[in-house]
Chain A
Amino acid sequence: MWQLLQIELYKIFRRPRTYIAFVAVAVLITIMQFGLKVDGQEYADFMLQSLGNFDVQGKLLNGYMVCYIVLQLMLVHVPLLVTLISADLISGEANIGTLRLLMAKPYSRTSIVVSKFCAVCVYTLLLLIWVAFLALFVSVVIFGKSDLFLMKNEYIVLIRQDDVFWRYGCAFCFAFVALITVASVGFFLSAFAENSIGPIVTTMSVIILFTVLGTLNLPVFQAISPYLFTTHMVTWKEFFDEKVNANNEALAGTLQNLPHIIHSVIILLIYIVVLVSATVWVMKKKDILS
């Protein structure tokens, strides 16, 4: 199994396509950071205008804030980049004709499929570490550190700077689970196709469809919304909300809604387990005709 995982990782990281995602992430984040560096103050001022009768003092546009802005936008795009790899894993090999060679080797199909999935997890983890490095560390270097000031829909959350880092740590771990869920969808669809375009496009369509269904405020869609994985992918933001005491003082080191986070993680894990098991089952039953 370890041998297979090494081989799968070797294949992934010897492919030029793999690095497109890393380059794309770097370019996107750098552009955002550049924009915020140049015009960020105006952006912050604009934001504060709405807080007309409040006086906000301090470095609003600091590294932590920039990371939050970047993550909000990136976590829409990174799933698409993960899909590029995960949805290609089986179908891509079917397409170039190596799947039949692979499946005729003395390893069980289950171990081959599972090792491929593990390789996607490693790839996703590395991509996320890359995102974290650029969005968090580089932003902190460029913009400095300060408290994290967030305007939610209904309230403002001010998180002390010494209380922020662990939240990002947790948020990235959560994002990892969310991205693996997307990867599982692509991976599952990949088992049915003999070229990678189909599953990649289908996965992206599923993400878009689920997102739209989850956003539409119609009773029929709201009934299914709690079961859509896209609904739970944004729960990482819960790490950036704190509990308050009776005097409305925010309590550092607390999470406003831990059960919500746990609930989302469980739903996402169910998706992952079901999809990966289904992929293994499909591949075990499948006649390799490619």
Chain B
Amino acid sequence: MNTAQQARWVRFTPTERIARSMVYIVVVVAVIWSLKTVEVIPEFLYDAPEQTADLLSRMWPFDWGYYPTVVHAAMIETIHIATLGTLLSLVAALPLAFMAARNFTPFPVLNWVAQFIFVTSRSVNSLVWALLFVAIFGPGALAGILAIAFRSIGFVGRLFGEALEEAQKGPIEALNAIGAPGSMVLAKGYWPQAEPAFWSIALLRWDINIRESAVLGLVGAGGIGLALNASLDNLYWDEVGLILAVILLVVMATEIISSKIRARII
């Protein structure tokens, strides 16, 4: 229709066109391939809204009596797991981040070792870390804390390492110029510049960890997930509903608290 016009104005250069078309084709092919091979039973799909509605109706009214006996303590434990796990990961990630920052540690081998630890930490899901630690330490909060910490080291370390690399050279060169020792350069040159980033990364991860720690109990690593698992196995949906509501509240409260703290310290 507009062929005459395209001689004068085309939106993309031919290479751009080809690159974009390729991406679109790949997306379409990938989706169609997945749709064809994935085992989805259509009847289940049609049934889904009805089943979901049925589940929800069985959850309400909640079994409020379950809160003081089990849910409260379990939720507190979950919060402790998340917080202690986050703190532990901060302690471990801090030196590793300095090791990964190329401007602070001018040895590629050390940078690489730190990066490798980060990648390993991030590539293993916290549930898998939890499985491993449950196998080692037995079920309970200890496995949960370690799972949270090991999963978070990579996250905190990578982001904080990047923040350190963005530190301005000026103050650091000034300290080096007056012959300040390495620890002094670290404390007065790097740390003040990167500190806000550090706390904001820590808060962000804490926020994520509260959510994550709520499921660790499903594999035996303590907290509210244990209670949830028990209620699910027994098909006590009114308990499940209560637990989900409590998780929702805590997660939302965490989000509000962390954004309040962030506004104050940054």
- A and B interact physically: no
